Amino acid sequence: MPQSLPSFTLAATSITALFTWLVVGLFVLDAGLHGLLLTALMSLTGLGLWLGVPYHTLRKFVFDGLAASMPALIIFILIGVVIAALIQSGTVGTLVYYGLQLLRPELFLPGGLLLCSFMSFATGTSWGTVATCGIVLMSVGESLGFPLPLIAGMVIAGASFGDKMSPISDTTNLAAMSAGTDLYRHIHAMSLSTGPSYLVVLVIFSVLGSTYGAVPAEQTAAAALLAALDATFTIDWVTLIPIALMLILGWRRVPPEAVLIAASFSALIIAWGLQDASIAGLLTSLYTGVSQTTGAPILDTLINRGGIGAMAWTLTLAILAIAMGALLSQLNLLKALLTPIAQRIQRPAQLLTVSTTAAAASNAALTEPYAAIILNGQVFQDVYDRQNIDRAMLSRTLEEGSTLTAALIPWTTTAIFYSAILGVSTLDYAPLALLNWMNPLIGIAMAWLGLGYLTSKVNAANTE
């Protein structure tokens, strides 16, 4: 690692140029993200060489970053496996079947938001929630006549809420640890801004649901899907065992890769025993995904997905994004940019605003929230102590600026994953993922109004 920080001017210029390239490439050139991230990675490598960092050291930075992110990359692969297994077992079909019968159109959006919130809170994972509940709700909502970006926004908002607030979520624990505060003090601080934000979002989705629910849905589409599901799968409550297993294991804090493997294995057994699937077909689908023609196009769209191969686009993009973030971090560009800014802050509300914004900017630069949370925790701890602000407020801004905004930035691993699973581009669903952008703004507004604010005279005690 470089012995000294780059200059503030160099850091600001480099990061501005990088973001400009990504934004222009996406919105003006309409270029693919793979090429944009690859050229950004090459430019950062050149900058590192210009700063005097040997190539073998830059290479080590990239490989170390990929090694640290290996659990997330493995989860990418296993998500493809579990989706294929849950489809073959009839789990997805059963959920869609009962969902179409039980969910009234006017209650679909608020009900879906609450369902995703509960599942992600219980399991501590937004990714698992989007890959299971999300797929089901996308199919049910489409049959009820809701726009796909609206459904995706609702799913992601609910999944993000649980991931942010759950005591078994990795980002929740990491934010508390990085800020040097108690886990439940951190959750309490988040509830002060997330509670009001969630109520606002729930009301908005309820109004939107009533608006769409007041328009008669195309009943033939829902009826055709129900008939096709009944003809293709054995609809039975036993097919829900893999979902129950995921909830139980997630609550017991079993590592996520083990949860996905257990759910996949149980689903394969159900598919073989209940759905009369062949062993050869099941094993093949784990890589190729499900490929089945039912005669009902809407059902074919629902079930012909999953498999390791389907995650290749997502996985390769994530590898490039992680490599780029590793260089930005290890070259100390973000730290050189943030440290002088943090030292000049005078007012508490100003500090909360800057730390939230810095977490979001770091998220965009480093492409995943974990590194952003750790970096900003290190940068801002002393500043919060000097201003006598409880470090739980710092941990809150770390989550609001990173965990939530990760879904809104097209090149982060989270947004890449959500877009691939739900089949909706980040730019289409982002405005409708209401909690993800409203919560940070409401948290900042509350800070300036002096609301939801914690002070502490013994921040050091938070680390004990």
Confidence of residue 74 (pLDDT cuts 50, 70, 90): confident
- Name the residue type at position 395: S
pLDDT at residue number 131:
83
Q: What is the mean pLDDT of residues 188-196?
A: 93
Tokens representing 222 are 């829902």
Residue 428, SS3? Answer: helix
Sign for the pseudo-dihedral over CA of 209, 417, 398, 343: negative
Give 279-292 pLDDT, tens digit per residue. Answer: 999 999 999 988 88
| pLDDT above 70: residue 64 | yes
Arithmetic mean of pLDDT, 206-211: 90
Dihedrals phi, psi of 455, to nearest 5 degrees: -115, 160
Domain with 137, as residue range(s), is 71-311
Residues 55 and 85 in one domain: no
**What is this structure's pTM?**
0.78
**Of 84-88, 250-254, 334-338, 459-463, which has the strongest mean pLDDT?**
84-88
| Range picked from 111-125, 250-264, 388-402 for highest mean pLDDT | 388-402
Report residue 15's pLDDT band, with 50, 70 and 90 as the boundaries.
confident
- Residues 270 and 348 reside in one and the same domain: no
- Res 69: pLDDT: 79
Which range (296-300, 331-335, 446-450) has the least confidence?
A: 296-300
pLDDT at 139: 83
Give the pLDDT confidence score for residue 220 in this predicted structure.
Answer: 60
Q: What would the pLDDT profile of 389-429 be if each residue is shown by its tens digit?
A: 899 999 999 999 999 999 999 989 899 889 988 999 999 99
Bigger pLDDT: 76 or 194? 194
The answer to whether residue 9 sits within a structural domain is no
Is-contact 6 331, C-beta < 8 A? Answer: yes
Average pLDDT of the chain, as a whole number: 86
> Are both 104 and 40 inside the same structural domain?
no
Q: What is the DSSP letter of 296?
A: -
Query: Is residue 356 domain-shared with residue 263, that is, in the same domain?
Result: no
Q: What is the pLDDT of residue 59?
A: 95
Q: Is residue 7 part of a domain?
A: no
Q: What is the pLDDT of residue 424?
A: 95
Average pLDDT over residues 31-59: 92
Q: Does residue 227 share a domain with residue 278?
A: yes
- What is the distance between the alpha carbons of residues 161 and 412, in angstroms, rounded to a whole number? 18
**The pLDDT of residue 218:** 56
**Which pLDDT value is given to residue 30?**
84
Query: Does residue 359 share a domain with residue 261?
Result: no
- In a shared domain, residues 114 and 54: no
- Counting the structural domains of the chain, the total is 2
In this structure, is residue 386 part of a structural domain?
yes
State residue 254's pLDDT score: 83
Is the confidence at residue 214, as pLDDT, over 60? Answer: no
Half-sphere exposure of 284 (CA within 13 A, CB side): 8
Do 161 and 134 fall within a single domain?
A: yes
Average pLDDT over residues 245-252: 82
* Higher local confidence (pLDDT), 328 or 114: 114
Q: What is the pLDDT of residue 459?
A: 44
End position of a domain, from candidates 311, 339, 372: 311
Does 3 fall in a domain? Answer: no
Contact of 175 with 377, CB cutoff 8 Å:
yes
pLDDT of residue 460: 40
